[in-house]
């Protein structure tokens, strides 16, 4: 009897482990009989049911949207969940063209309070935003109504967005708020340059975000970094069309938090209106800081304003331009930035007269102007940068004011 038990026990353990592995790898296919999703039809309910099952599972689970095109009205997938979830989008999810059909005013797809999420599969989140861009007047109306963001991440932790595409969002493509330890790798943003207010990835009040091997083409900032962002790393990002990579705008609202620990390296910007910049509003309602910000190994190809600090950022002319910004900028470096620009002012450091910039470094700057509006030059005010291996025209040639793009 004892011998039989001895022989049976290993087999029992093997079957238990095999059963556990199967449970961990079980795929919740939204087109299965259980969920009933079908191509070219609305799979909102199917996806919501699959999420409910995945979120309740005590073992890691995988939601699969197979190849094909599926309609999706939109929802917010909420946690906390009992185990990690992989959301594998192999096909295309399409938002309604008419934004009024979406259940939330400002979000198409949201993930809220989730730990251990992975978005993967090589598929596309298609916001079908062209109609919304035509009705977007946010470039001139400060009180404009927000449109729908393709992917909104709130309280996301220990998560990855891998090899998926956000296409033609009605508003920002991605918005991260209060997130921690989130990685983007192989992510793509695709929208034409005329798509209004469609920032590629916007980050606010988040820590430990890593963006790498990502391609962003859109109608606004490729990456915009809002208040409260800390320990952000951006590497090997290709940007264009768009408005470049921006810290800010900062200093517009009274409850803003400091920005620090921003490292942007080995990126290429092509045909963008700006390159790498920091922008703050004048007449800030309270003191704030932006510090330890570093741009290094950046290639510019036909970029409007390659290097820019603008502490008089005032779109729509709805601010008190004569009142200095109260955002203190310090410990900033621009290193090994090379390429071509379409504006003769290749370097502009326009810091606040109330709080001059401190510890700003320019080194190994090599930019060529491709236009015919005069010689290449640079403008610096309220800052005394450390300058190393920078040709004289780019080394704070003048302190006079010069306009910058929005």
pLDDT of residue 142: 61
For residues 200 and 221, the answer to whether their CB atoms sit within 8 Å is: yes
pLDDT of residue 14: 44
The number of domains in the chain is 1
Alpha helices in 357-397 (DSSP H): none
Tell me which of 317 and 222 has the higher pLDDT: 222
Kindly state the average pLDDT of the residues 312-331.
Answer: 89
- Least trusted range by pLDDT, from 15-29, 248-262, 354-368: 15-29
Q: Which residues, other chains included, contact 312 with Cβ-Cβ below 8 Å and sequence gap of 6+? A: 282, 321, 325, 350
Q: Domain of 282?
A: 221-406
Whether residue 79 lies inside any domain: the answer is no
Whether residue 208 lies inside any domain: the answer is no
pLDDT of residue 140: 64
pLDDT of residue 139: 60
Confidence bin at 23 (pLDDT 50/70/90): very low
pLDDT of residue 322: 83
Tell me which of 399 and 174 has the higher pLDDT: 174
Whether residue 189 lies inside any domain: the answer is no
Whether residue 117 lies inside any domain: the answer is no
pLDDT digits (tens, 9 = 90+) for 42-61: 999 999 999 999 999 999 99
Kindly state the average pLDDT of the residues 265-294.
Answer: 97
Tell me which of 135 and 236 has the higher pLDDT: 236
Whether residue 115 lies inside any domain: the answer is no
pLDDT beyond 80 at 297:
yes
pLDDT digits (tens, 9 = 90+) for 334-344: 999 999 999 99
Whether residue 291 lies inside any domain: the answer is yes
Q: How far apart are the first and last CA of the chain?
A: 83
Tell me which of 24 and 187 has the higher pLDDT: 187
Q: How far apart are CA 108 and CA 73, in angstroms?
A: 7
Q: What CATH number is given to the structural domain containing 393?
A: 2.160.20.10
Whether residue 271 lies inside any domain: the answer is yes
Kindly state the average pLDDT of the residues 368-387.
Answer: 96
SS3 281: coil
148: annotated active-site residue: no
- The one catalytic residue in 148, 154, 243, 294 is 243
- Least trusted range by pLDDT, from 32-41, 48-57, 132-141: 132-141
Whether residue 400 lies inside any domain: the answer is yes
pLDDT beyond 90 at 134:
no
Query: What's the mean pLDDT when you consider all of the chain?
Result: 92
Give CA separation, 232 vs 179, 272, 346, 392, in Å. Answer: 11, 22, 26, 32
SS3 394: helix
Confidence bin at 145 (pLDDT 50/70/90): low
* Token code pair at residue 145: 């109504």
In the chain, pLDDT over 70 holds for what percent of residues? 89
pLDDT of residue 135: 81
Quote the pTM value.
Answer: 0.92
Confidence bin at 12 (pLDDT 50/70/90): very low
Q: How far apart are CA 263 and CA 248, in angstroms?
A: 15
């Amino acid at each position: 009897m004892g011998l039989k038990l001895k022989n049976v026990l290993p087999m029992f353990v093997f079957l238990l482990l095999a059963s556990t592995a199967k449970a961990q790898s079980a795929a919740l296919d939204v087109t299965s009989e259980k969920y009933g999703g079908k191509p070219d039809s609305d799979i909102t309910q199917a996806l919501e049911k699959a999420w409910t099952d995945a979120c309740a599972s005590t073992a890691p689970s995988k939601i699969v949207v197979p190849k094909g095109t599926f309609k999706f009205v939109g929802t917010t997938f909420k946690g906390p969940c009992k185990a990690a979830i992989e959301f594998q989008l192999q096909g295309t999810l399409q938002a309604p063209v008419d934004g009024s059909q979406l259940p939330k005013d400002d979000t198409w797809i949201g993930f809220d309070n989730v730990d251990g999420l992975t978005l993967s599969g090589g598929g596309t989140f298609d916001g079908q935003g062209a109609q919304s861009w035509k009705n977007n007047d946010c470039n001139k109306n400060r009180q404009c109504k927000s449109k729908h963001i393709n992917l909104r991440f709130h309280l996301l932790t220990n998560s990855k967005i891998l090899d998926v595409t956000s296409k033609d969002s009605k508003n920002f493509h991605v918005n991260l708020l209060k997130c921690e330890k989130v990685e983007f790798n192989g992510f793509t943003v695709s929208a034409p340059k005329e798509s209004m207010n469609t920032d590629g990835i916007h980050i606010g009040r988040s820590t430990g975000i890593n963006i790498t091997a990502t391609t962003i083409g859109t109608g606004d900032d490729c990456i915009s970094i809002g208040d409260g962002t800390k320990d952000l790393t951006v590497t090997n990002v290709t940007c264009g069309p768009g408005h470049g990579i921006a810290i800010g705008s900062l200093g517009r609202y009274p409850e803003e938090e400091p920005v620090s620990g921003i490292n942007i390296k080995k990126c290429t910007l092509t045909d963008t209106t700006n390159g790498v910049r920091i922008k703050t509003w004048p007449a800030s309602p309270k003191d704030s800081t932006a510090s330890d910000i570093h741009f290094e190994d950046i290639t510019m190809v036909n970029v409007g304003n390659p290097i820019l600090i603008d502490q008089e950022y005032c779109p729509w002319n709805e601010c008190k331009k004569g009142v200095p910004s109260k955002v203190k900028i310090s410990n900033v470096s621009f290193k090994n930035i090379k390429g071509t620009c379409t504006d003769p002012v290749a370097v502009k450091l326009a810091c606040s007269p109330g709080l001059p910039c401190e510890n700003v470094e320019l080194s190994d700057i090599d930019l060529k102007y491709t236009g015919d509006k005069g010689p290449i030059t640079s403008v610096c005010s309220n800052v005394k940068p450390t300058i190393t291996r920078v040709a004289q025209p780019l080394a704070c040639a003048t302190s006079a004011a010069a306009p910058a793009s929005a």
